[in-house]
Amino acid sequence: MRDWLAELLKPLAEWLFVLVMSVPLSVVRLIFLGILAALAIWALTLPPQRPEPVEGKKDSWLSDLRFFAVGLLLLQSIFYLIF
């Protein structure tokens, strides 16, 4: 049963392996960076992520968590650019 199943799935596994092997690492790096960039853009499209307003206290834009997230993703991108 085990061998039969393995034989059945093997052609698909080999085809997928050849497929991913054909992608150059420079393109892979772009994909990884693209994911981080897409997430940063998505975060910016969200409504402002500020705390509940407190009477008499004005929030700075820094309290908006969207910018924190974008900063985080940018820092992360640097590592994938370097290594």
Partner 1 sequence: MELSVGRLATIDVIIVAVYLVGITVLGVWIGRFIKTDEDFFLGGRNLPWWAIGMSMVVSDIGALELVGVAGMAYTYGIAVANFDWIGCIPAMVVAAFIFIPYYWRAKVFTVPEFLGRRYNQFVRSLVALIWGVFFLFMLGIFFYTAALTMKILCGWPMTFSIILIATAVGIYTFFGGLAAVVFLDSIQCVILFIGSFIILGIAMFKVGGYSQLVDTVTAMGDKGQHFNLLVPPDTPTPFGWACVLFGLTFVLSPAYWLGNQAIVQRNLAARSEYEAKKSVLWGGFLKLFIPIMLVGPGLAGVALHPGLEKGDDIFPTLIHDLLPPGLVGIVFAAFLAALISSVDSYLNSAATLWTKDIYQQFIDYRKKYRYNIFLDLVPGLLFSAIGFVVRPFTSRFPSYKEFLMKERDERHYMIVGRVLTLVFVVTGVFLAPITEKFPHIFGYMQTMLSIFQGPLLSIIILGLLWRRANGKGAIAGLCLGVATSSTLFAIQDKLFTAPEPFLYIAWWAFLVGLVTTVVVSLLTKPEPPEKIEGLIYSSVRKSKRSQVNNERLAG
Applying CB under 8 A, which residues contact partner 1? 2-3, 5-6, 9-10, 13, 17, 20-21, 25, 28-29, 31-32, 35-36, 39, 43, 46, 49-52, 65, 68-69, 72-73, 75-76, 79-80, 83
Closer residue to partner 1 (CB): 3 or 55:
3
For 46, what's the count of Cα atoms within 13 Å in the CB-facing half-sphere?
A: 16
CA distances to 23, 32, 77 from 70, in Å:
28, 16, 10
Q: If you search the block for the tokens 């009477």, which residue do you land on?
A: 55
Q: Which is nearer to partner 1, 25 or 55 (CB)?
A: 25
